[in-house]
Amino acid sequence: MTCIFCAIAAGDIPATLAYESDDVVAFHDIDPKAPVHLVVIPRAHHANAAELAAADPALAGALLTVAAQLGAEHHGGFRIVLNTGPDGGQTVDHVHAHVLAGRGFGWPPG
């Protein structure tokens, strides 16, 4: 099965990286929804946030830690989003955290 985010993590598809470690990679979203829009993924393929949390809680924690660190680099607050499942707006079935910053965000989200 071809997974676009596995391919980015492997370096087989180009992306503008913002962070990488043995476990986690972050890159700039190709279609940004805010002035800062990063996508943070584990290198290991898990379909969504629920499956990652169940299968590997430590990796889920690492993903959140990196997302929070990247968000905190941008003054004025940020939003972390984990779209999960088709009704949750998930279009790529490799778990990813969106880190959004640089504008205001309403609540509840639209």
Question: Which residues make up the interface to ligand AMP (CB under 6 A)?
Answer: 4, 13, 15, 27, 29-31, 39, 83, 89-92
The partner in contact with residue 89, picked from Zn ion, ligand AMP, none with C-beta cut-offs of 5 to 8 angstroms by kind, is ligand AMP
- Buried residues in 51-76 as b, exposed as e (16+ CB within 10 A): ebbeebeebbebbbebbeebbeebee
Residues 25-54 that bind Zn ion (CB under 5 A): 45
**By C-beta, is 10 or 72 nearer to Zn ion?**
10
Return the one option of Zn ion, ligand AMP, none that residue 92 interacts with (CB less than 5 to 8 A, by type). Answer: ligand AMP
Q: Annotated catalytic, 74? A: no
Give the helix ranges, DSSP H, for 1-110.
4-10, 49-55, 57-72
State the Cα–Cα distance between residues 106 and 94, nearest whole angstrom: 27
Distance CA 55, CA 7 (A): 21
Among residues 75 and 109, whose Cβ is nearest to ligand AMP?
109
Residue whose C-beta lies closest to Zn ion: 3
Query: Which residues are annotated as catalytic?
Result: 96
